[in-house]
Amino acid sequence: MEIKPIAYFRSPFATKFGVPRQSGVVAELHGSIVFADDFRQPEALRGLDGYDYLWLIWGFSENVGAKKRPTVRPPLLGGNERVGVWATRSPFRPNNLGLSAVRLVGVDAERMTIEVAGADLMDGTPVYDIKPYLPYADSYPGVRAGFTEQKSWHRLEVVFSDESERLLAAEDRAVLKAVLEQDPRPHYHDSADRLYGMPFMGYDVQFRVDGDVLKVETVKRIC
Amino acid sequence: MEIKPIAYFRSPFATKFGVPRQSGVVAELHGSIVFADDFRQPEALRGLDGYDYLWLIWGFSENVGAKKRPTVRPPLLGGNERVGVWATRSPFRPNNLGLSAVRLVGVDAERMTIEVAGADLMDGTPVYDIKPYLPYADSYPGVRAGFTEQKSWHRLEVVFSDESERLLAAEDRAVLKAVLEQDPRPHYHDSADRLYGMPFMGYDVQFRVDGDVLKVETVKRIC
């Protein structure tokens, strides 16, 4: 079946580096759904403002050509243990489809954009469907969740250099802090010397991690 | 983007007549996911049994050629009021993708099938993705749910004729009862004379509805 993007996601993340590992994990993170030309129909949004959450079905567009295996190595398990792909939310999966529940912040029918929060999509991600979240059919709190139950992400303490603190508005700093607390490093990295660069909100954010402390060294405008 | 079925759904519903309007609504209803030849890899199922619920992303395969409009008329609103397609779970939507949370009943790696309960898929539906349900990212009980909050489906009282009661095993009868209580008639029908036929579990189930009472008249084996 051929599917085509109905919209594209605009996110503070220019690359996948730093994107939260699931939707909802960084609730402060705002982004927008911008409808594609063929779908700029304001009447298609009628009634959307009656919902608190939306489902997005989207594409892991970077992985379309990647080789897919029947098992994957979830970062949460340290990257060594193999689990069946259907038992994970891995981006390396047949059909390259992603699924995320996002909080609805606002609908702008004139501009044909929807502002949402808590998304785990990088900038430019194609969106194939938007559905309202129906708690009576979609919400199952407390059910068993496989290997994600036994392990949880270790949070880092985030500190800012004086320079980076001065350059970032307080609100942007709070969002960046929430993102960095999740530890965006690849799981096999653990070197205090290494300087990481993450494009975020139009900045190149440079940081180092020593033990449990992540220090933002510099932020440079890149656009 | 081209997507191809990883599996097909086997359901007691040979047609869409009677299929529950959302997943979870008829919890007793069992069905199976049968993997397609290219995806019969037992290792891809490893770890799946640690979850209680799964997401299915599937295709409204009957509607692929249908004309899509920016607004739809939800049966729950009586079929006259128009709502934007993105504010509904209507099957008449761009890209024809369906989304359902189903309860995991059992995994059979040898036969490459997964038994589930509560699905709203008809027999033969193509499945494009299976993802584990993660309560921390997917569960938002109590959030606002637009027009589905103000209205609810009217339940019918279901009675069986002596003949139909004799022909159906008690367990099958209980499932059929749960299905029929939801009132499978198109919203614009209300005639006590009309005899409906619904193919279900290999039977042609014939019933009439008079006011709030649905009477199963006959059941005939069709396969």
pLDDT of B222 over the 90 cut: no
Residues of A in contact with B98 (CB under 8 A): none
pLDDT of B30 over the 80 cut: yes
Residue to test with chain B: of A37, A61, A64, A86, most B Cβ within 10 A: A86
Distance CA B36, CA B5 (A): 7
pLDDT of A195 over the 80 cut: yes
**pLDDT in the model for residue B223:** 67
pLDDT of A223 over the 80 cut: no
**pLDDT in the model for residue B66:** 86
**pLDDT in the model for residue A176:** 96
Interchain CB distance below 8 Å, B84 and A47: yes
pLDDT band of residue B79 (cuts 50, 70, 90) is: confident
**Does residue A185 or residue A159 have the better pLDDT?**
A159
Report yes or no: B113 and B130 within 8 Å, Cβ to Cβ: no
**pLDDT in the model for residue A163:** 94
**pLDDT in the model for residue B190:** 74
**pLDDT in the model for residue B191:** 83
pLDDT single digits (tens) B2-25 = 999 999 999 999 999 999 999 999
pLDDT single digits (tens) B115-157 = 999 999 999 999 999 999 999 999 999 999 999 988 778 899 9
Residues of A in contact with B89 (CB under 8 A): 131-132, 134
**pLDDT in the model for residue B188:** 66
pLDDT single digits (tens) B33-71 = 999 999 999 999 999 999 999 999 999 988 888 889 999
List C-alpha distances in Å: B54 to B15, B82, B173. Answer: 23, 31, 26
pLDDT single digits (tens) A80-103 = 899 999 999 999 999 999 999 999
- Rounded to an integer, the average pLDDT of B67-92 is 93
Average pLDDT, chain A: 94
pLDDT single digits (tens) B176-217 = 999 999 999 887 677 888 999 999 999 999 999 999 999 999
Distance CA B116, CA B54 (A): 9
Distance CA B218, CA B160 (A): 9
CA distance B192 to chain A (A): 31
Domains in chain A, start-ordered, CATH in brackets?
7-138 (2.40.30.70), 157-221 (3.30.2310.20)
- Point out the residue among A2, A130, A148 whose CB comes nearest to the CB of B86: A130
Report yes or no: B68 and B94 within 8 Å, Cβ to Cβ: yes
3-state helix/strand/coil string of chain A? CECCCCEEEECCECCCCCCCCCCCCCCCCEEEEEECHHHCCHHHHCCHHHECEEEEEEECHHHCCCCCCCEECCHHHCCCCCEEHHHCCCCCCHHHEEEEEEEEEEEECCCCEEEEECCCCCCCCEEEEEEECCHHHHCCCCCCECHHHHCCCCCCEEEECHHHHHHCCHHHHHHHHHHHHCCCCCCCCCCCCCCEEEEECCEEEEEEEECCEEEEEEEEECC
**pLDDT in the model for residue A40:** 98
- Rounded to an integer, the average pLDDT of B99-112 is 98
Interchain CB distance below 8 Å, B148 and A134: yes
